[in-house]
């Protein structure tokens, strides 16, 4: 009988070892628990719990934005403690949290520090800020949008609306990327963009508040059909395409390609042409070379958004240049 029992035990052991070796890595990782668990979150706090440790005489909770910059939360916790809350944190942030304890097997043994567990825990997502136009690809009609990244986010939702209120594009980034490209946009149109963060906390997706809208629009191009920049009769004559949704324009002029630009004329949204007789107090001269670009503007309340600058027009070569 002893021999039979021995064979049965051996077979069980072999099956157990084989099952462990054949188990997928995700299952093996899941069995190696971090030792601590997130039990709650607000925009500025994280609650956690840990597994009690035999012979622990106290606990300490440490945290930081990475494992190289840890600070202790308050004082030492008693040996009966199994949970804590870290307050005064930043919303939308992932923190590295570590629980350590002092171990003493007997009153006369040496006190040694051990780790009860560690993991990356998150506060609730914050309202996204810094939504802006990072690049407008005029010739391929693509708009690049960016915003301020949150370390605690998994991904972001975005929504792009044209000046008529129609949604042009919407979707989610595939990971914590703080940018997105939107294709098939209309060049001479003001778009509004809003973004919100999504963070998975305790296995549940938490959706943040929509950002304030960002305004995106292209710099009016001076080489479009029907547009012109020319010097004639002692005047600099400029015509450019209107940008739907813009509230005004500034015509910028200089005698140098890269520097020295001044506002030679400001126009309302209803006008897209002008004749300029003076630049920086000096009369426009026939045959003189001028560099020109137009800035579209969008005023919202006390804030004025602009299309920025990328291209300028050379009146001598009648061609575009790049800043």
CATH code of the domain in which 47 resides: 2.60.40.10
The domain boundary residue, chosen from 122, 147, 170: 122
5 within domain boundaries: no
Block residue for tokens 């391929």: 140
What's the pTM? 0.81
Return the H-helix or E-strand segment holding 22. Answer: helix 2-22
For residue 249, give the 3-state DSSP assignment: strand
23 within domain boundaries: no
The domain boundary residue, chosen from 122, 140, 155: 122
- Percent of the chain at pLDDT > 70 equals 90
Block residue for tokens 């040694």: 112
pLDDT at site 107: 85
Per-residue pLDDT of the chain (323 residues; tens, 9 = 90+): 444 343 333 333 333 334 333 333 322 232 235 899 999 999 999 999 999 999 999 999 999 999 899 999 999 999 999 999 999 999 999 999 999 999 988 888 889 999 999 999 999 999 999 999 999 999 999 999 999 999 999 999 999 999 889 999 999 999 999 999 999 999 999 999 999 999 999 999 999 999 999 999 999 999 999 999 999 999 999 999 999 999 999 999 999 999 999 999 999 999 999 999 999 999 999 999 999 999 999 999 999 999 989 999 999 999 999 99
For residues 233 and 265, state if they share a domain. yes
The domain boundary residue, chosen from 188, 216, 244: 216
pLDDT at site 211: 98
Contact 61, 81 (CB under 8 A): no
pLDDT at site 308: 86
Phi/psi at 185 (nearest 5 deg)?
A: -90, 160
For residues 144 and 93, state if they share a domain. no
pLDDT at site 9: 36
Number of domains in the chain: 3
**Could you list the residue range(s) of the whole structural domain that residue 260 is in?**
228-322
pLDDT at site 16: 38
15 within domain boundaries: no
For residues 269 and 298, state if they share a domain. yes
pLDDT at site 18: 40
pLDDT at site 106: 86
Please give, one letter per residue, the 3-state secondary structure of the chain: CHHHHHHHHHHHHHHHHHHHHHCCHHHHHHHCCCCEEEEEECCCCEEEEECCCCCEEEEEEEEECCCCCCEECCCCEECCCCEEEECCCCCCCEEEEEEEEEECCCCCCCCEEEEEEEEEEECCCCCCCCCEEEEEECCCCEEEEECCCCCCCCEEEEEEEECCCCEEEEEECCCCCCEEEEECCCCCECEEEEEEEEEEECCEEEECCCCCCEEECCCCCCCCCCCEEEEECCEEEEECCCCECCCEEEEEEECCCCCCCEEEEEEECCCCEEEECEECCEECCCCCCCEEEEEEEEEECCEEEECCCCEEEECCCCEEEEC
pLDDT at site 33: 55
For residues 118 and 143, state if they share a domain. no
70 within domain boundaries: yes
């Amino acid at each position: 009988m002893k021999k039979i029992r021995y064979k049965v035990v051996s077979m069980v052991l072999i099956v157990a070892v084989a099952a462990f070796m054949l188990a997928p890595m995700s299952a093996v990782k899941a069995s190696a628990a971090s030792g601590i668990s997130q039990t709650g979150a607000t925009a500025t706090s994280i609650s956690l719990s840990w597994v009690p440790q035999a012979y622990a005489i106290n606990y300490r909770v440490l945290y930081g934005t990475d494992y190289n910059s840890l600070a202790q939360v308050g004082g030492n916790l008693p040996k009966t403690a199994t949970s804590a809350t870290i307050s005064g944190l930043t919303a939308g942030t992932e923190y590295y949290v570590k629980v350590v304890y002092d171990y003493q097997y007997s009153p006369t043994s040496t006190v040694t520090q051990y780790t009860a567990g560690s993991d990356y825990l998150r506060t609730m997502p914050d309202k996204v800020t810094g939504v802006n136009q990072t690049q407008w690809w005029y010739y391929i009609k693509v708009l690049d949008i960016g915003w301020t990244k949150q370390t605690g986010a998994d991904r972001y939702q975005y929504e792009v609306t044209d000046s008529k209120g129609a949604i042009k594009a919407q979707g989610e980034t595939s990971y914590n990327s703080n940018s997105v490209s939107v294709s098939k946009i209309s060049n001479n149109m003001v778009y509004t963009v809003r973004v919100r963060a999504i963070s998975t906390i305790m296995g549940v997706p938490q959706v943040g508040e929509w950002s304030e809208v960002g305004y995106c629009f292209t710099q009016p191009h001076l080489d479009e059909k029907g547009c012109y920049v020319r010097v004639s009769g002692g005047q600099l004559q400029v015509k450019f395409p209107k940008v739907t949704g813009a509230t005004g324009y500034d015509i910028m002029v200089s005698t140098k390609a890269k520097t020295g630009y001044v506002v030679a004329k400001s126009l309302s949204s209803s006008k897209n042409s002008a004749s300029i007789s003076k630049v920086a107090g000096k009369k426009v001269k026939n045959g003189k070379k001028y560099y020109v670009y137009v800035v579209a503007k969008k005023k919202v309340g006390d804030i004025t958004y602009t299309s920025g600058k990328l291209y300028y027009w050379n009146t001598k070569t009648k061609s575009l240049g790049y800043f």
